[in-house]
Structure 1
């Protein structure tokens, strides 16, 4: 079991505005400090985990403290085609498999620069690159910039790809709706600072997800490569 106890202190300059707010609302600079404490009881064998909770509950702070070296924070994309931004030691076949595995299957988009891709495509490219570069991935703001239908499809694709390659992936998100689609092995909820294992009590969950349809009537499972 891994215990964390984090004190996050915010230094405040007593400017005119700050001083007025402190006086008007009877607050002290120490009131802006934060404390996060809890335990992670990671199983010996796992592939997908999730740190989930409302905004301001310490998700990113905890992820950095517990898994800082694995946290994905801003890849550099400088080529005219995203396929050329992928690791140089990977073949075109390796990259193609990674793109397909996360649902980035539009081949013409592989030839575009990262900057012109949609938010959903950017997220998939980031995840594909993470999978190509690392065996342990902590992805902050997971699905935060995409619509919820894209989030569900992407979550199913990522979960399938990570398990197939026997890697480790932790999603850090404020969106509870991706839990069923990621099917994580464990959940850390920052609203309650509690760690829990998924039990698998719902034996029909995977079947239900694979048979789910989107708003156009397409089967979600069928569009996951």
Structure 2
């Protein structure tokens, strides 16, 4: 489509306005008029993620509202209730949890707190999840990542884009920050300052180097409040940390499992990724590193899970296989309401997995 927009602001004459007019070589009205003429051929091919970018004052928001009237997400109203209670009433708790986890807000304690108590990064992810929940089809978000730390912005951009593509949705980010480009990986970019539209080939996100090394159990309090079950740590737990650029961003541990028939089984104990880095599968990579580490020492690693996002990840990964007689992903409760209307981990179905090692000959 071809877009032509002209905006002008009327000027009320006053003594000060007349003084300002005398300082310029053209009438002040011309300074307060902006025009755009640009081709935006988004109807030419299928797409999921778009990016409108440009410096502040370039006209991004105006252009977005002109292109998709009524689709630009306005400021959301949040209550003082639990975060999950502010999502659409007809949405099941499983769908809410799945969407929050998909955009990188995977901490159940955060789901149960009011929006006002969340960190900037958590609040941004919650807003993205709610925007996708409340609208069908296209969603346009203005001021995308404007209020969050730039590292959080990059990670969250990747999580949002991945969610949009997996769900077959359309999403347009409107922002003045060019640094999200490589992480959002949009199908097209409209640079308002350059009056340029271009299609793109989606590429993998930039790689982050995860370093794993043993850590003292004293670091656990940094992660405890984000764990979805108890905050306790077994006294015999062996602890490891995940570091990115020297910063500790994730924690995992295991303990010995007293199996009656074998002494080679270890049990995954606690795994937590700090909220700012959720959505990059760091927790999965960290536990798989531990699983391989134990395999090379002659041990097997097992894990019992009830967190929906962790179950989904491991059920898809070739590095894990379900074990036990019941390999269904649902709750074992006979009560129907337990399947959809609870966040209590004791009422959710638990699933057991065992790590599948990478072998040199494969």
TM-score by length of structure 2 reads: 0.57
Q: Are positions 1:128 and 2:132 aligned together?
A: no
Alignment of 1:99-138 (within 5 A): 99-134=100-135, 135-138=137-140
Cα deviation code 1:167-208 (max 9, x no counterpart): 0000001111101101111111111111101135xxxx51x6
Contact 1:79–1:85 (CA under 8 A) maintained in structure 2: no
Distance 1:8 1:138 in 2: 21
Q: Are positions 1:59 and 2:118 aligned together?
A: no
Q: Are positions 1:222 and 2:284 aligned together?
A: no
Partner of 1:11: 10
Secondary structure of 1:68's counterpart equals: coil
Distance 1:23 1:65 in 2: 34
Distance 1:47 1:97 in 2: 20
Q: 141, 145, 148: which is aligned to 2:147?
A: 145
Distance 1:212 1:175 in 2: 24
Partner of 2:178: 176
Distance 1:136 1:82 in 2: 23
In proportion to residue count, which structure has more strand? Answer: 2
TM-score by length of structure 1 reads: 0.89
Distance 2:209 2:142 in 1: 26
**Higher mean C-alpha displacement, 185-194 vs 25-34:** 25-34
Distance 1:123 1:183 in 2: 19
Partner of 1:69: 70
Structure 1 gaps, min length 5: none
**CA drift at 1:217:** 6.0
Partner of 1:30: 30
Distance 1:15 1:84 in 2: 51
Distance 1:112 1:137 in 2: 26
Secondary structure of 2:173's counterpart equals: strand
**Higher mean C-alpha displacement, 101-110 vs 21-30:** 21-30
Distance 2:125 2:15 in 1: 45
Distance 2:142 2:95 in 1: 24
Contact 2:53–2:189 (CA under 8 A) maintained in structure 1: yes
Distance 1:80 1:6 in 2: 42
Number of residue equivalences: 219
Contact 1:102–1:124 (CA under 8 A) maintained in structure 2: yes
Secondary structure of 1:88's counterpart equals: coil
Structure 2 gaps, min length 5: 211-243, 251-276, 284-308, 310-362
Distance 1:147 1:159 in 2: 18
Distance 2:21 2:119 in 1: 43
Partner of 1:209: 206
CA distance 1:118–1:18, change in 2 (3 Å): farther
